[in-house]
Amino acid sequence: MGDPSVLGQIGWADLTVPDAAPVRDFYQQVTGWSTSPVDMGGYQDYCMIPSGSEQPVSGICHARGGNTGLPPVWLIYITVADLDESIRRCQELGGKLILPPKAMGNARYCVIQDTVGASVGLYEAAKA
């Protein structure tokens, strides 16, 4: 995740697919990314790390568990100050909540759909 204190930035991107391992391998060969496995309780998703860096920039995930039903597209995550307020505003303006808030450590994220059907993730950093 990018710097979560910078609100409104694109801080992460995930690609969710039925079988993540071959797609992980594809991006390793095409971009030079290395990977770090993430235990998902019975299977592994992958953080993708640029060459020469220690910080991951994206994830390649299986379409299982909380990711079931997500489209196989690169989904960006935008940092927000208050996830619940952003969800409320989304729905008030005619958008939809696609994936309800989930915890990631002490941080939270969700996926919304805007008024024309485009999906985006929202990410709220852990409160200090």
Model pTM score: 0.84
What ranges do the domains of the chain cover? Answer: 6-79, 81-128
pLDDT in tens, 68-121: 888 889 999 999 999 999 999 999 999 999 999 999 888 999 999 999 999 999
**For all residues of the chain together, what is the average pLDDT?**
92
Q: Which residues contact 80 (CB under 8 A, 6 or more apart)?
A: 7, 8, 86, 122, 123, 124
Structure tokens at 90: 């989304």
* Cα–Cα distance for residue pair 73/1, rounded to 1 Å: 18
Per-residue pLDDT band for 1 (boundaries 50, 70, 90) equals: low
Q: What DSSP element (H or E) covers 95? A: none
| Architecture of the 81-128 domain | Roll (3.10)
Q: What is the domain class of 6-79 according to CATH?
A: alpha beta
- The region, left, alpha or beta by phi > 0 then psi within -120 to 50, assigned to residue 117 is left
